[in-house]
Amino acid sequence: MALTSNLSFFIFFNSIFISSISSFTTQHPFDPLSPYELMQIQSIVKNSLSSSKSSLITFHYVGLDEPEKPLVQSWLSKPKTKPPPRRALVMTRFDKQTYEFIINLSSKPFSIISTKVYKDYGYPTLGSDEQISAILLPLKYGPFIDSVRSRGLHLSDVVCSTFTVGWYGKESNRRVIKLQCYHINGTLNLYLLPIEGIKIVVDLDEMKIVEYVDNGRVPVPKSEGTDYRLSEQKPPFGPHINGAAILQPNGPGFIIDGYTIKWMNWDFHLAFDARVGPVISLATIYDQEKQRHRSVMYRGHVSELFVPYQDPTEDYYYKTYFDCGEFGFGLLAVSLVPQADCPNNAVFMDGYLAGQDGSPVQIPNVFCIFERHSGDVMWRHTEFGIPNITVTESRPEVSLVVRMVATVGNYDHILDWEFKPSGSINVQAGLSGVLEVKATKYTHSDEIDQEVDGTLLADNTIGLNHDHFLTYRLDLDIDGVENSLVKQNMVTKRVLNGKTPRKSYWTVESETAKTESEGKIKLGQKPANLVIVNPNKKTKYGNSHGYRLIPGTVAHPILEDDDYPQIRGAFSNYNVWITPYNKSEIWAGGRYVDQSHGQDTLAVWSLRNREIENKDIVLWYVLGIHHIPCQEDFPLMPTLSAGFEIRPTNFFEFNPVLKVIPPQPVNIQNFGP
C-alpha cells in the first residue's frame, strides 16, 4: 500500500527494491506482504514444484501467516527488538492437488518451512484467470452456440459468469464450477438479462466443459430501463445533489506511519488481505487520565459471508455462496472513486496481492481513510432548570472511517470501520449493486399461478429471495488478554411488598459464560446486554473494565438444519459465538470452502466446548439480513446498510470525551474561488 492514488511503473518497482533492502527489525509483524515478498514467494514455490510434469502451478491464496500472539505481545513491550518470525501462508493447485506452504520470510534467502498436500473435502479460493478462461469456453462450444441461435439471440451480445456448485450430499473429486450466461443487448447490466434453461459445468483443472444441458426456453428480459450509467438515462432527472466539501486547513487529523494509523486518541494497524480485505490490528485507545494507551482489539476482520438464495429449482438450487472463502473479498476489491466512494478529505492507500500466477498485482486506492464530520452530536446538554441561568454545552461528533469495497459478481459490499473518540468502534456493511434475478414468462403479479421465490420487478424478471450472513471475527483484548463474556440479563420482577403502587420493575442478573456452549447466543430471544470484560481490571468503584456489543439488524437462518447449505453455513446458527483464541481458527467457513462439507467451520470448532472464562477469547458476530427484493432495488439497488458497535462499558472512570477540545470555526471565505 502507498499513500497515493496511482503509482507509476517507476515508483512501483522502486517500492519493490526498497522492500528488498529494508531492515527486518523495523518491520511491523502485521504488515501485509510486499511486492518483493510476493515475487520471492512465487519463485520459491514454483521451484519446489518443478518436475518433469508440465502441470501449471496456480496460486489461490498468498497472505501473512499470523505470528504467534505471545511473540507479538513480547515485541509490543519492546518494539525496538527483533519482531516475531515473519511467515507467509500459500495455497496452490498443482497436478490436480492442493498444496499448502508455510514460507519463512525472516531469513535471507526466504525458505520453505513446511509443505503438505490437502486431501480433505474442499478446494481453495477460485483464481481470477481461471474464471476468465472458463467464461470464454461456451462462446466456442458448438452446442451452446446452437442454443443461443435457436433463441434468436446474438452470440456477440452474450456474456457468461462463474458460480460455485456447493455440496449436496454426493461425493465428487472434480473441481468444477457452473456457468450462467446473459444477453446484454445494448446494456452493461448483464445480471438482469439471464439466458435461462442452459446448464454448463466446467472442470477447472481440465479447463473444459464436462456437462451441457439445454432444458428449454424462457423469454430473456428486456434491456430497456436496466442501464445504470448516467449517460444512458433519459429525462426527467433528479433529485439534484448539491456540491459539498470538507475543509481541513491544517490537513488530515490523522497520521499514517507505514501501516499504523494514529488519530486523536486511537492507534491501530491496517493491512490488506486477499481473502477478507481490511484487517484491523492492535487497536488501542489513549486514556488521558491514566496517561497511557489501553488495548481494545488485537485483531478484527470479516471472516465469511454466507449468501444462500431461496429458489430450490434445478437451475438455481446451488446458488448458496461463501463469498470470502470461494471468491475472496480482497481478490475482488475494487479501486475507490474519489469524491464518490470517499469524500474529498480522504487519503487513499493501495493494496497488493498475488495473482493466479503468483506475481504481484496492485489495486490502487483499495482503502480510503477519512475524518467524518457528519453533523451529529457527540454529546450535549442545555440546563435551564436553574432560575435566571441557561447553560448549553455541545460537542460535534467527528469520527475516523476506514473503507473498502469488494464487488463479488453482481453485489458490491461496502465495508466500513469507524472509530469514535468516545472509544466506540462502529462496524458497517453496505450492500449495493445488482440483484440476482430469474427470467420468467410473467409480466404482472396477477399472472403468477404458482409459487415464486421472489418478487416480480419488471417484465419477465423476478428478484430472488436470499440472505446475507456476514460474520466478523473480533479478537478483543479489553485492557489485556484474559477476558470473559458477561450476559447482563434484564429480568422482570413483581413488586410483592405492598409498599409502592408499582407492580413490576426490571433488574439485571449477570451471568458469566464459562464454556463455548454458554457463549452461543441467538439475539432477540430475551433482553440482555453482552459485555466482554476483563475481570482482573476494575474501576475505582469496582466495576470490571468492559466493552459492550450493541447489535444492529438481527436475523436467524430459516433453512432446515439438515439442508446442505446450512450444514456448510452452520456458523450462522447463532448471532454471537465466543471461542478461545486459536491462531488456526480464522475463517468461519473453513480453510477450503469451495465444495466443502462443513467439516471445518466455527460451528464444528465450538463443539469442543472449551473454557472461555477469564481466557484469551474471540468474539464472532454474525450480521444477518433477510432480503426480499422490491422494485426500488431495480435496476440497481440503493445501498442497504447494517452493522454493530462495540462500546466502552465501565472501561473509563467517566465520560472520556468530557474534556474534548471542540474544533475552531473555519472561515469559509478564505477558501472561496
Residue numbers annotated as active site:
323, 411
d(CA 308, CA 584): 26
In total, the chain counts a number of residues equal to 673
* CA 23-24-30 angle, 5° bins: 125
d(CA 43, CA 37): 10
CA–centroid distance for 493 within its chain = 42
Mark residue 96 as left, alpha or beta (left: phi above 0; alpha: psi -120 to 50; beta: remaining).
left
Distance linking the first and last C-alpha atoms of the chain: 34
* Burial grade of 561 (CB within 10 A; 0-12, 13-18, 19 or more): exposed
Q: What is the CA angle 420-653-618, rounded to 5?
A: 60
Helices (H) and strands (E) in the chain, counts: 7, 30
Under 8 Å CB-to-CB from 20, ≥6 apart: which residues? 36
Asked whether the bond before 635 is cis by omega within 30 degrees of 0, the reply is: yes
Give the helix ranges, DSSP H, for 62-167: 69-77, 128-136, 142-150
C-alpha cell at 516: 463455548
Contact 216, 190 (CB under 8 A): no
Gap between the Cα atoms of 662 and 425, Å rounded: 21
- CA–chain centroid gap for 526, Å, is 28
- Say which residues have a Cβ less than 8 Å from residue 75's Cβ, sequence separation at least 6: 29, 81, 82, 83, 84
